[in-house]
Structure 1
Amino acid sequence: MSEATITLWRPVGPEELALIRDSGMRAFPPRLPEQPIFYPVTTEEYAIKIARDWNVRASGSGYVTRFEVLKSYLDGYAVETAGGRAHQEYWIPAEDLDNFNAAIVGEIVVTSEFYPDDGT
Protein backbone atom coordinates (compact mmCIF):
# COMPACT_ATOMS: atom_id res chain seq x y z
CA MET A 1 0.00 0.00 0.00
CA SER A 2 1.41 3.39 -0.97
CA GLU A 3 1.60 6.25 1.47
CA ALA A 4 -1.14 8.92 1.37
CA THR A 5 -0.40 12.21 -0.36
CA ILE A 6 -1.94 15.67 -0.43
CA THR A 7 -2.21 17.66 -3.65
CA LEU A 8 -0.81 21.18 -3.42
CA TRP A 9 -0.30 24.01 -5.88
CA ARG A 10 2.35 26.70 -6.18
CA PRO A 11 2.10 29.84 -8.32
CA VAL A 12 5.50 30.71 -9.81
CA GLY A 13 7.10 33.18 -12.18
CA PRO A 14 9.36 32.32 -15.11
CA GLU A 15 12.62 32.32 -13.13
CA GLU A 16 11.35 29.91 -10.49
CA LEU A 17 9.82 27.70 -13.20
CA ALA A 18 13.19 27.53 -14.99
CA LEU A 19 14.83 26.34 -11.75
CA ILE A 20 12.07 23.75 -11.23
CA ARG A 21 12.67 22.50 -14.79
CA ASP A 22 16.42 22.33 -14.02
CA SER A 23 15.54 19.90 -11.19
CA GLY A 24 13.77 17.59 -13.63
CA MET A 25 10.41 18.87 -12.32
CA ARG A 26 11.15 17.23 -8.96
CA ALA A 27 12.05 20.08 -6.58
CA PHE A 28 11.49 23.73 -5.75
CA PRO A 29 14.59 25.94 -5.65
CA PRO A 30 16.11 27.24 -2.42
CA ARG A 31 14.55 30.40 -1.07
CA LEU A 32 16.34 33.72 -1.42
CA PRO A 33 17.55 35.42 1.79
CA GLU A 34 14.55 37.78 1.73
CA GLN A 35 12.17 34.78 1.38
CA PRO A 36 12.23 32.96 4.74
CA ILE A 37 9.04 30.99 4.05
CA PHE A 38 7.93 28.72 1.17
CA TYR A 39 4.17 28.98 0.55
CA PRO A 40 2.46 26.11 -1.28
CA VAL A 41 -1.31 26.63 -1.44
CA THR A 42 -4.20 24.22 -0.92
CA THR A 43 -6.39 25.03 -3.94
CA GLU A 44 -5.81 25.50 -7.63
CA GLU A 45 -8.17 28.52 -7.63
CA TYR A 46 -5.98 30.35 -5.12
CA ALA A 47 -2.83 29.51 -7.11
CA ILE A 48 -4.45 30.76 -10.32
CA LYS A 49 -5.40 34.05 -8.67
CA ILE A 50 -1.80 34.64 -7.52
CA ALA A 51 -0.20 33.54 -10.81
CA ARG A 52 -2.60 35.62 -12.94
CA ASP A 53 -2.91 38.71 -10.74
CA TRP A 54 0.55 38.92 -9.15
CA ASN A 55 3.16 36.87 -11.02
CA VAL A 56 2.21 38.30 -14.44
CA ARG A 57 2.56 41.87 -13.17
CA ALA A 58 5.75 41.13 -11.24
CA SER A 59 7.62 39.07 -13.84
CA GLY A 60 5.76 39.07 -17.16
CA SER A 61 4.17 35.63 -16.84
CA GLY A 62 2.70 33.36 -14.22
CA TYR A 63 2.42 29.60 -13.93
CA VAL A 64 0.50 27.25 -11.67
CA THR A 65 2.24 24.07 -10.60
CA ARG A 66 0.57 21.02 -9.05
CA PHE A 67 2.33 18.34 -7.04
CA GLU A 68 1.78 15.62 -4.46
CA VAL A 69 3.37 15.71 -1.00
CA LEU A 70 3.42 12.92 1.57
CA LYS A 71 0.64 13.53 4.07
CA SER A 72 2.89 12.21 6.83
CA TYR A 73 5.31 15.08 6.14
CA LEU A 74 2.62 17.77 5.95
CA ASP A 75 1.09 16.55 9.22
CA GLY A 76 3.95 18.43 10.90
CA TYR A 77 2.62 21.78 9.64
CA ALA A 78 -0.63 23.65 10.13
CA VAL A 79 -2.71 24.98 7.26
CA GLU A 80 -2.57 28.77 7.55
CA THR A 81 -5.25 31.19 6.35
CA ALA A 82 -3.94 34.28 4.55
CA GLY A 83 -6.70 36.87 4.41
CA GLY A 84 -9.74 34.63 3.94
CA ARG A 85 -11.01 31.05 4.00
CA ALA A 86 -10.31 30.64 0.27
CA HIS A 87 -6.66 31.58 0.82
CA GLN A 88 -5.13 28.62 2.62
CA GLU A 89 -1.49 27.65 2.44
CA TYR A 90 1.30 25.89 4.26
CA TRP A 91 4.15 27.96 5.68
CA ILE A 92 7.30 25.91 5.22
CA PRO A 93 10.44 27.54 6.70
CA ALA A 94 13.19 27.97 4.11
CA GLU A 95 15.50 25.70 6.09
CA ASP A 96 12.92 22.88 5.74
CA LEU A 97 12.63 23.11 1.94
CA ASP A 98 15.05 20.23 1.25
CA ASN A 99 12.90 17.94 3.42
CA PHE A 100 9.76 19.28 1.75
CA ASN A 101 11.22 18.51 -1.68
CA ALA A 102 12.14 15.01 -0.51
CA ALA A 103 8.46 14.50 0.45
CA ILE A 104 7.22 15.33 -3.08
CA VAL A 105 5.89 12.21 -4.78
CA GLY A 106 6.28 12.20 -8.56
CA GLU A 107 6.80 15.24 -10.74
CA ILE A 108 5.77 18.85 -10.40
CA VAL A 109 3.32 19.60 -13.24
CA VAL A 110 2.47 22.96 -14.81
CA THR A 111 -1.34 23.18 -15.00
CA SER A 112 -1.87 26.80 -16.15
CA GLU A 113 0.09 29.60 -17.80
CA PHE A 114 -0.75 33.30 -17.75
CA TYR A 115 0.65 36.18 -19.82
CA PRO A 116 -0.14 39.90 -20.05
CA ASP A 117 -3.28 40.66 -22.03
CA ASP A 118 -1.97 41.76 -25.41
CA GLY A 119 -5.41 42.90 -26.55
CA THR A 120 -5.92 40.12 -29.11
Structure 2
Amino acid sequence: MSGTPRTVTLWRPVGPQELTLIEESGSRAFPPRLPDQPIFYPVLTQEYAAKIARDWNVPASGAGYVTRFEVREDFLRAYSPQPAGGRDHLEYWIPAGELPAFNDAIVGEIVVVQSFP
Protein backbone atom coordinates (compact mmCIF):
# COMPACT_ATOMS: atom_id res chain seq x y z
CA MET A 1 0.00 0.00 0.00
CA SER A 2 1.27 3.44 -0.91
CA GLY A 3 1.91 6.15 1.68
CA THR A 4 0.00 8.68 -0.42
CA PRO A 5 -3.34 9.58 1.18
CA ARG A 6 -6.55 9.54 -0.83
CA THR A 7 -7.74 13.07 -1.44
CA VAL A 8 -10.83 14.99 -2.49
CA THR A 9 -10.56 18.01 -4.78
CA LEU A 10 -12.30 21.09 -3.41
CA TRP A 11 -12.59 24.71 -4.51
CA ARG A 12 -12.84 27.98 -2.62
CA PRO A 13 -13.83 31.39 -3.97
CA VAL A 14 -11.71 34.17 -2.47
CA GLY A 15 -11.19 37.90 -2.78
CA PRO A 16 -7.84 39.70 -3.12
CA GLN A 17 -7.17 40.05 0.61
CA GLU A 18 -7.75 36.37 1.34
CA LEU A 19 -5.64 35.41 -1.68
CA THR A 20 -2.75 37.50 -0.35
CA LEU A 21 -2.95 35.70 3.01
CA ILE A 22 -3.01 32.32 1.25
CA GLU A 23 0.09 33.29 -0.73
CA GLU A 24 1.80 34.44 2.48
CA SER A 25 1.28 30.90 3.86
CA GLY A 26 3.23 29.51 0.91
CA SER A 27 -0.11 28.54 -0.67
CA ARG A 28 -0.51 25.86 1.99
CA ALA A 29 -3.26 27.23 4.26
CA PHE A 30 -6.37 29.35 4.45
CA PRO A 31 -6.28 32.28 6.89
CA PRO A 32 -8.22 32.25 10.17
CA ARG A 33 -11.84 33.29 9.94
CA LEU A 34 -12.88 36.76 11.03
CA PRO A 35 -15.05 37.08 14.16
CA ASP A 36 -18.21 37.42 12.04
CA GLN A 37 -17.32 34.31 9.99
CA PRO A 38 -18.07 31.23 12.12
CA ILE A 39 -17.91 28.81 9.17
CA PHE A 40 -15.28 28.07 6.53
CA TYR A 41 -17.00 26.74 3.43
CA PRO A 42 -15.02 25.05 0.68
CA VAL A 43 -17.28 24.02 -2.22
CA LEU A 44 -17.56 20.84 -4.26
CA THR A 45 -17.48 22.19 -7.81
CA GLN A 46 -15.45 24.71 -9.73
CA GLU A 47 -18.62 26.05 -11.34
CA TYR A 48 -20.17 26.92 -7.98
CA ALA A 49 -16.92 28.52 -6.79
CA ALA A 50 -16.76 30.59 -9.98
CA LYS A 51 -20.33 31.81 -9.49
CA ILE A 52 -19.51 32.99 -5.95
CA ALA A 53 -16.20 34.59 -7.01
CA ARG A 54 -17.86 36.41 -9.90
CA ASP A 55 -21.16 37.36 -8.25
CA TRP A 56 -20.02 38.07 -4.67
CA ASN A 57 -16.27 38.64 -4.48
CA VAL A 58 -16.01 40.97 -7.48
CA PRO A 59 -18.73 43.40 -6.27
CA ALA A 60 -17.45 43.24 -2.67
CA SER A 61 -13.73 43.64 -3.32
CA GLY A 62 -13.11 44.36 -6.99
CA ALA A 63 -11.83 40.91 -7.93
CA GLY A 64 -12.58 37.27 -7.33
CA TYR A 65 -10.50 34.11 -7.60
CA VAL A 66 -11.25 30.41 -7.63
CA THR A 67 -8.75 28.25 -5.77
CA ARG A 68 -8.40 24.48 -6.09
CA PHE A 69 -6.82 22.20 -3.52
CA GLU A 70 -6.75 18.63 -2.28
CA VAL A 71 -7.91 17.55 1.19
CA ARG A 72 -7.36 14.15 2.78
CA GLU A 73 -10.46 12.03 2.32
CA ASP A 74 -10.19 10.60 5.85
CA PHE A 75 -10.43 14.11 7.32
CA LEU A 76 -13.56 14.99 5.33
CA ARG A 77 -15.42 11.90 6.53
CA ALA A 78 -16.32 13.84 9.69
CA TYR A 79 -18.35 16.32 7.60
CA SER A 80 -21.25 16.05 5.17
CA PRO A 81 -21.72 18.26 2.12
CA GLN A 82 -24.45 20.84 2.76
CA PRO A 83 -26.80 22.28 0.14
CA ALA A 84 -26.57 26.06 -0.18
CA GLY A 85 -29.40 27.37 -2.28
CA GLY A 86 -29.59 24.56 -4.81
CA ARG A 87 -28.80 20.90 -5.22
CA ASP A 88 -25.81 21.73 -7.42
CA HIS A 89 -24.50 24.18 -4.82
CA LEU A 90 -22.83 21.97 -2.24
CA GLU A 91 -20.25 22.98 0.32
CA TYR A 92 -18.61 21.65 3.44
CA TRP A 93 -19.26 23.64 6.60
CA ILE A 94 -16.08 23.62 8.66
CA PRO A 95 -16.40 25.42 12.02
CA ALA A 96 -13.88 28.25 12.29
CA GLY A 97 -12.19 26.58 15.27
CA GLU A 98 -11.50 23.50 13.13
CA LEU A 99 -9.82 25.42 10.31
CA PRO A 100 -6.28 24.68 11.58
CA ALA A 101 -7.03 20.93 11.39
CA PHE A 102 -8.55 21.44 7.93
CA ASN A 103 -5.39 23.25 6.80
CA ASP A 104 -3.30 20.36 8.15
CA ALA A 105 -5.37 18.01 5.97
CA ILE A 106 -4.56 19.92 2.75
CA VAL A 107 -2.24 17.90 0.52
CA GLY A 108 -0.07 20.00 -1.77
CA GLU A 109 -0.64 23.63 -2.64
CA ILE A 110 -3.68 25.83 -3.01
CA VAL A 111 -3.71 27.03 -6.62
CA VAL A 112 -5.67 29.74 -8.41
CA VAL A 113 -7.52 28.25 -11.38
CA GLN A 114 -9.75 31.20 -12.38
CA SER A 115 -9.76 34.93 -11.83
CA PHE A 116 -12.38 37.60 -12.29
CA PRO A 117 -10.83 41.10 -12.33
User: Which of the residues 71, 74, 97 maps onto 1:72?
Assistant: 74
After superposition, what is the alpha-carbon deviation per residue over 1:11-53, rounded to whole angstroms, capped at 9, x for unaligned?
0000000000000000000000000000000000000000011
Q: Secondary structure of the equivalent of 2:13?
A: strand
Q: Secondary structure of the equivalent of 1:85?
A: coil
Q: Which residue is 2:11 aligned to?
A: 9
Q: Which residue is 1:33 aligned to?
A: 35
- The alignment yields a C-alpha RMSD, in angstroms, of 0.4
What is the CA–CA distance in structure 1 between the aligned matches of 2:92 and 2:100, rounded to whole Å? 15
Q: Which residue is 1:118 aligned to?
A: none
After superposition, what is the alpha-carbon deviation per residue over 1:55-74, rounded to whole angstroms, capped at 9, x for unaligned?
00000000000000000000
The structure 1 segments of at least 4 consecutive aligned residues displaced by more than 6 Å after TM superposition are none
Could you state the TM-score of these two structures normalised by the residue count of structure 1?
0.95
Q: Secondary structure of the equivalent of 2:26?
A: coil
Q: Which residue is 2:59 aligned to?
A: 57
User: Which of the residues 99, 102, 107 maps onto 1:100?
Assistant: 102
Instruction: Kindly provide the amino acid, as one letter, of the partner of residue 96 in structure 1.
Output: E
Instruction: Kindly provide the amino acid, as one letter, of the partner of residue 72 in structure 1.
Output: D
- CA-CA distance at 1:76 after TM superposition: 0.4
- CA-CA distance at 1:3 after TM superposition: 1.3
Unaligned runs of 5+ in 1: 116-120
What is the CA–CA distance in structure 2 between the aligned matches of 1:99 and 1:3, rounded to whole Å? 16
Q: Which residue is 2:22 aligned to?
A: 20
Q: Secondary structure of the equivalent of 2:18?
A: helix
